Structure 1
Amino acid sequence: MPANSFGHILTLTTFGESHGPAIGCVLDGFPPGMAITPEEIRAELMRRATGQSRWTSQRKEAEDVQILSGVFEGKTTGSPIALLIYNTDAKSKDYSKIANQFRPGHADYTYHHKYGIRDYRGGGRSSARETAMRVAAGALAKKWLREKFGVEITGWLGQIGEEVCDERFDPAVIDTNPFFCPDASRIEALEDYMKRLWKSGDSVGALVKARATGVPVGLGAPVYAKLDGDLAAAMMSINATKGVEIGAGFRSVAQKGTEHRDEITPEGFESNHAGGVLGGISTGQPVECAVAFKPTSSLRLPGKTVDIHGGPVEIVTTGRHDPCVGIRAVPIVEAMLALVIMDHVLLHRAQCGDVGEQTPRIPG
């Protein structure tokens, strides 16, 4: 199964299945000399982990990450960094009843036709379990960007179902609740909403937003290595993603040009509808994106499908599933944003490292 790697200079390859013995990744092209510990990586993994609240799947993995290579005496060496996490709480028997059925809304049908075989245990390679390795690699990228450039990456839940979560925004609140919600006044309403949803047996989608501040000017390149193009591709590669916005995104359709253009003064840009990217190249403003996640398709409510012989059947998916996968996607979106920006920093350094400081320098 090809295409399990992404990146230009900083490349990430992930491997493993949801119910296999382990999942892992190789992060290649990472610069030498940065201090890193398994505990730092695990701290990011636990933000994404299931079983942290009643509103996520109750699968409880230890997320004890092992650094197999690329780190010596606590510092990166410049060689490939291999990370491994053993799966310790998979329950494959939950899926035995649907081994010969295609779950609607899942990759079962398409995997079956493409490869002629599929791992039905939790979705195998198409499971969100794979994203744990993105978060592990993203932990390194986030730290490197912070130490080298002061880049700070923040993700949050902007909307869950019909419930808007970020009309008030306090970044200090985001990691204090199970929803990654930046508005403390909305937590109780979200709890009530999720209780009703859980009781109904149904699911909803979510909108996850992320912002990177302190991003240098000049990252990205026309035409086929645009920063926003690579960001969109990275976000679309996350399981259950159905839409990506950069800056104003789809709101740009209703804006006039006089409103959308980010006018420039000697004191800085007056707005950021472009999301920190112009012509595929970063402006020095915050890089902003939003990612739409579809509702979970694994439901205990009966639905129509067919079996591997083409016959009609009724399907009920048992096991442990998220009523909203978007909640746990916040750290994943942060990780992908960090990995793409770091990759473009290294690309820029490789081609334009000897380009001097340009004037005027407009504040971001």
Structure 2
Amino acid sequence: MPGSSFGEMFRITTFGESHGPEVGVVIDGVPAGLYLSKDDIQFELLFRRPGRQYVTGRREKDEPEIVSGIYNGRTTGAPIAIIVKNSDVISSLYEEIRYKPRPGHADLPYIMKYGYENWDYRGGGRASARETVSRVAAGAVAKKLLMLTDTVIGGHLKSLGPIELNEDVTFEEILCSKYSPVRASKKWLEEKFEELIKQATVEGDSWGGIAEIVVKNPPSGLGEPVFDKLKADLAKAILSIPAVTGFEYGLGFKAGRMRGSEANDEIIVKDGRLRWKNNTSGGILGGLSNGEDIILRCAFKPTSSIRKPQKTVDLRTYEETTISVIGRHDPAVAIRGVSVAEAMVALVLVDHAMRTGYIPTVKLTEEQAKIIEERWRRYVELCKPMQGSQ
């Protein structure tokens, strides 16, 4: 599958299937000298990991193993290979799916493209969201490199089903949402989301949701005219995530219902710098980052594997039938999808930061490596559970 690689200066190639022995990623383009450990990668994988409350019951430790590109705890400049073993695989749960493609899933399109005889139906094979482990692992490396520019990326679930957050949220609250079982940035919202998930689980159904990603302190000038605009690369990155059906940044689709006098953001001088008054463009103008916070949102459709009976076709007989999907599936894929969206944003930004010259492409100086390490430590400390009622 030639579409398994992403990026230019910072390039990743993911591999592995849902029920194969492992999934993994090869990262090419990481400069030498970066302090990098298993713990750095596991920190980000923790918030995507299955087997927790309100997500799939599949029990995976998701312990990364760095098999190349590291010596004495630092990157060498060579490709970095990371693998994560699949340990809790129950392929027998997918026997019915072998002949009955799931409505809303990639089963039938994969069969049409690659042939039934070549289709790995176990857990969805390559089309499974299990593949996103590789993205989050690579995203951890990208996030750490971005610390050189003091750029921090956080995400939260802005809405789940009919419940939406319509009040201001601080970046600290967004970072703390990592420890919310439903990626909520407010305690009251967490309780509402939990009620919704419990109801869907009882009914054998699922919900869709909208994730919001905020980038603090992005460098200005990221992006290249005309086809490599930052917004274009971000859109491709986000839309490549399984179950994502929509992407917007700044005002997004609201801009299509506004006048120019409403949507245009006035240019001001603040703290001796040229700034934009309200950041309605979400940190991107003309396809280039303008130094304001980058704010984007993406919509995740409801998980397609549900217990409620749905119509499909038996591929052995071509007769219409029904399927009730058993197994271990997320009642709302958007919950764990927030971490994946964060990772994809990081991959795009670090790639453009290297292309623009903000991050060295060959090696880091000792001073740069220490700056990154200190900022990474501060970032990990900022990501902590919500305290009290919010």
Q: Per the shorter chain, which TM-score range?
A: over 0.9
Quick check: 1:203–1:323 contact (8 Å CA) kept in 2?
yes
Moved more, 309-318 or 83-92: 309-318
Once the two structures are TM-superposed, the CA of residue 171 in structure 1 deviates from its matched residue by 3.0
1:255 has 2:278 as partner: no
Structure 2 partner of 1:154: 154
Quick check: 2:182–2:194 contact (8 Å CA) kept in 1?
no
1:190 has 2:193 as partner: yes
Structure 1 partner of 2:37: 37
What do the CA deviations read for 1:100-155 (whole angstroms, capped 9, x no partner)? 11111111111001000211111000000000110001111111101x11001010
Once the two structures are TM-superposed, the CA of residue 277 in structure 1 deviates from its matched residue by 0.9
Structure 2 partner of 1:237: 240
1:18 has 2:18 as partner: yes
Residues 60-209 of structure 1 aligned to structure 2 (within 5 Å): 60-116=59-115, 117-146=118-147, 148-165=148-165, 167-169=167-169, 170-171=173-174, 173-209=176-212
Once the two structures are TM-superposed, the CA of residue 168 in structure 1 deviates from its matched residue by 4.5
1:332 to 330, 340, 344: 340
Quick check: 2:154–2:175 contact (8 Å CA) kept in 1?
no
Distance 2:220 2:162 in 1: 36
**What percent identity do the matched residue pairs reach?**
43
Once superposed, what is the RMSD of the aligned Cα atoms?
1.6
Once the two structures are TM-superposed, the CA of residue 350 in structure 1 deviates from its matched residue by 9.2
Gaps of 5+ in 1: 354-364
Once the two structures are TM-superposed, the CA of residue 71 in structure 1 deviates from its matched residue by 1.0
Once the two structures are TM-superposed, the CA of residue 166 in structure 1 deviates from its matched residue by 5.6
What do the CA deviations read for 1:59-107 (whole angstroms, capped 9, x no partner)? 0111111101111110111111100011000110100122111111111
Using the size of structure 2 for normalisation, the TM-score is 0.87
1:322 to 330, 336, 340: 330
1:174–1:327 distance in 2 versus 1, CA, 3 Å: same
1:274 has 2:281 as partner: yes
Distance 2:295 2:175 in 1: 18
Structure 2 partner of 1:295: 302
1:215 to 218, 222, 230: 218
Quick check: 1:13–1:25 contact (8 Å CA) kept in 2?
yes
Q: How many residues are matched? A: 351
Q: Comparing both chains, which one has the higher relative contact order based on Cα–Cα distances under 8 Å and sequence gaps of 6 or more?
A: 2
Quick check: 1:45–1:132 contact (8 Å CA) kept in 2?
yes
What do the CA deviations read for 1:234-279 (whole angstroms, capped 9, x no partner)? 0000000000001111111122211211211122210112111111
Once the two structures are TM-superposed, the CA of residue 167 in structure 1 deviates from its matched residue by 2.4
AA in 1 matched with 2:130: R
Quick check: 2:47–2:179 contact (8 Å CA) kept in 1?
no
What do the CA deviations read for 1:189-227 (whole angstroms, capped 9, x no partner)? 222222111111111100000011111111101111100
Quick check: 2:217–2:292 contact (8 Å CA) kept in 1?
yes
Using the size of structure 1 for normalisation, the TM-score is 0.93
Moved more, 66-75 or 230-239: 66-75
Distance 1:91 1:165 in 2: 37
